[in-house]
Amino acid sequence: MRGEYALNESNSLQEEVAITTITEPPTKTNVVVEEIHFNKVPDTFVITPIPLNEARGYLISKRILDIVGAVLGLLILSPFLFVLAMIIKFEDKNSSIFFSQERVGKNGEKFKMYKFRSMVSDAEERLSALLEHNETTGAMFKMANDPRVTKVGRFIRKTSVDELPQLWNVLRGEMSLVGPRPPLPREVAEYTSYDLQRLSVVPGCTGLWQVSGRSNIGFKEMVDLDILYIKTRNFMMDLKIIVKTITVLFGSKDAY
């Protein structure tokens, strides 16, 4: 059954999503099938064939958009980024300004994703004690009043500016401006074969589900929207998601 995607100029990027299963027959030109191996996962995962836009013209234009957007973003925002870095350091002089975390990208390739530090330095060690308070389903952890978040961290997470260092990941080609969010290895270990289809493309800083509900969307809906994006993505869709993301950031009551 095909998910229906409606896109119009009245800032509604996602009018309806009706994905249940992916049953389109594969072709030689639009299906990517990859085996993905993970060191800490006992089995070999195989991504289910999924139709996606791999047209050379689209991929080239998407990469140009990524490079131009990342360079302009870093240049224009550099004074703000410097001030923010100083504020983060002032709040906790013993912690680093930036936080790097191993994430899983296209076809299971692992890379270091960068953020401004928004949590205490031992956040990962404290996670196990908070799992019972998880407010979403599936292979994700979300908690509105996470005690690991610092005072400055609450602001930068609310506005999502903690994600800005990922522009460096975009320049390196590990991420794109638009695409599915890169998951943690421990999250991928819990993926179903349907969920693994998210790894068919380069992960992104923002995507369809971020502009369709932010943090109040469930894991299943997030995966459905990511797969819908993968199946229908094009250059104009990427541009509209970027513009919509900017408007969402300034009204980000659902982010945490």
Evaluate if residue 86 carries a pLDDT over 50.
yes
212 in a domain, yes or no? yes
Number of domains in the chain: 1
Q: Give the CA distances from residue 23 to residues 29, 130, 181, in Å, rounded to whole numbers and listed in that order.
A: 17, 38, 24
Q: Is 25 exposed, middle or buried (0-12, 13-18, 19+ CB in 10 A)?
A: exposed
pLDDT confidence of 28, banded at 50, 70, 90? Answer: very low
Q: Which residue has the higher pLDDT, 136 or 52?
A: 52
22 in a domain, yes or no? no
Evaluate if residue 248 carries a pLDDT over 60.
yes
**Torsional sign, CA 39, 228, 204, 201:** positive
36 in a domain, yes or no? no
Beta bridge partner(s), residue 254: none
Task: Write down the mean pLDDT value for the chain.
Answer: 77
pTM above 0.75, yes or no: no
Distance from C-alpha of 191 to C-alpha of 200, rounded to nearest angstrom: 14
| Mean pLDDT for the stretch of residues 240-251 | 83
Range of the domain at 85: 54-249
Q: pLDDT for 56-73, tens place per residue? A: 899 999 999 999 999 999
Closest CA to 110 of 183, 194, 198, 170: 183
The beta strands (E) that lie in 14-170 are given as: 35-36, 45-46, 98-104, 110-116
6 in a domain, yes or no? no
Evaluate if residue 11 carries a pLDDT over 60.
no
Q: How many CB atoms lie within 10 A of CB 109?
A: 15
Distance from C-alpha of 203 to C-alpha of 104, rounded to nearest angstrom: 8
Evaluate if residue 78 carries a pLDDT over 80.
yes
Q: What is the pLDDT of residue 117?
A: 86
157 in a domain, yes or no? yes
Distance from C-alpha of 139 to C-alpha of 23, rounded to nearest angstrom: 24
159 in a domain, yes or no? yes
155 in a domain, yes or no? yes
Q: What is the pLDDT of residue 143?
A: 63
Which residues contact residue 194 at a Cβ distance below 8 angstroms, ignoring those fewer than 6 apart? 21, 22, 48, 223, 227
Helix/strand/coil for 152: helix
45 in a domain, yes or no? no
24, 252 Cβ separation under 8 angstroms: no
